[in-house]
Homo-oligomer: A and B are copies of this chain.
Amino acid sequence: MASSGRIQKKGLSKKTGKEDVEIDLIDYTEKEFHEERVEKIENCLPFKDKNSVTWININGIHDVELIEKIGELFGLHLLTVKDIANTSQRPKIEEFDDYIYLVLKMLYLKKGKLVAEQVSLVLGQNFVISFQERKGDVFNHVREDIKASKGRMKTAGSDYLMYSLVNAVVDNYFIILENFGDRIENLQEKLVKNPSPNILQTIHEIKREVMFLRRSIWPLREVVNEAGRDGMPLITKTLVPYLRDLYDHTIQTIDIAESFRDSLSDMLDIYLSSVNNKTNEIMKVLTMFSTIFIPLTFVTGIYGMNFKNMPVLGWKWGYPAAWMVMGGVTLFMLIYFKRKKWL
């Protein structure tokens, strides 16, 4: 669920086995391609200063020692190492002397609940290191593209690789949003057909998830903008249109999330006023019944009195007359309701 109520600041993930951590290395130039599952991180070191583009992907960040060793080998600042291991970062970009560090949130659905996972990217001169909390398949697409030498992938440098990874995450946002869009549309139909009280709970839950989603994406906007603007030496000029495009996509996701929020607010309004309408209708029925029958019952009460001296009781047409009085009262009331437009 959206972790809005939970804080996990120093939240190093709690899994313990080292066997979970996977290190995948991909090394490529325009002509060559090398892929390898690496046992020990030290094996990656020879690729670091090689003139090819090297992508090291780490699945699992609970092995703090491993991250510290990577930090040592690739010259990462102590704070970067801490940030990678701590899964409660906001999306941000930080430029250091030799590398750029970028954090963002990968979102996916787990049993229908929105879950955010932290992805850390380190961009060096010839390499990109990516850290994921768990094994996922969002980056597969990028891997395929490299293998297939598709697009600019293999001719471009490590900065384009970094862009591709961020782009893959952002593309994934659209899938999540589409899922939300469907749920909201379903809700909207339900709301019209059968506005039960527990729909309210559902609306609030989805709204909370949409807000969580928006909060997760929002800072990325500024991150991408900064990357495109600041003229960092590690980002070549030819990347700028791509970053601009990425920026537009990020804005789009935020726009959609905000339109969802608006829709949900509207749905709350509609639900509440439909409840209100129902109460109103119930009131009307109650009032009509009461106001018609209360006088009638009063009439029967009168002729039910036991006074010895009630001439009316002895009259031959007394009983029919009583019915006529009651009929008159009813007619009067019905006309009154008609004029009040309650019928």
Contacts and interface: CB of A to CB of B under 8 A. Distances in A.
A305 B308 contact: no
B300 A306 contact: no
Contacts of A41: none
Interface in A256-270: 256, 259-260, 262-263, 266, 268-270
A96 interface: yes
Contact of A255 (B90, B298, B314, B342): B90
Q: How many copies does the complex hold?
A: 5
B282 A282 contact: no
Contact of A294 (B6, B94, B248, B289): B289
Interface residues of A, number: 100
A200 interface: yes
Contacts of A291: 285-286, 289
Contact of A304 (B211, B244, B289, B306): B306
Contacts of A236: none
Contacts of A7: 174, 177-178, 181, 256
Contacts of A208: 262-263, 266
A279 interface: yes
A63 to B, nearest CB: 21
A126 interface: no
Interface stretch (A24-32, A47-55, A137-145, A315-323): A315-323
Contacts of A200: 270, 273
A197 to B, nearest CB: 5
A252 B319 contact: no
A284 B282 contact: yes
Interface in A193-209: 197, 200-201, 204, 207-208
A309 interface: yes
Contact of A279 (B215, B248, B279, B299): B279
Interface string A170-204: 00001001100100110010000000010011001
B287 A282 contact: yes
A272 interface: yes
A310 interface: yes
A245 interface: yes
A148 interface: no
B79 A242 contact: yes
Given A9-B249, A305-B322, 19 more contacts: A5-B181, A6-B181, A78-B152, A79-B245, A94-B244, A204-B266, A208-B262, A211-B262, A212-B259, A215-B255, A279-B283, A289-B291, A296-B298, A300-B302, A300-B305, A306-B310, A307-B319, A309-B314, A309-B315
29 contacts: A4-B262, A5-B185, A7-B174, A7-B177, A9-B249, A78-B151, A90-B248, A215-B259, A272-B273, A272-B276, A279-B280, A282-B283, A283-B286, A283-B287, A286-B291, A287-B289, A289-B290, A293-B298, A294-B297, A297-B297, A300-B304, A301-B304, A303-B307, A305-B322, A306-B306, A306-B313, A307-B313, A307-B318, A309-B319
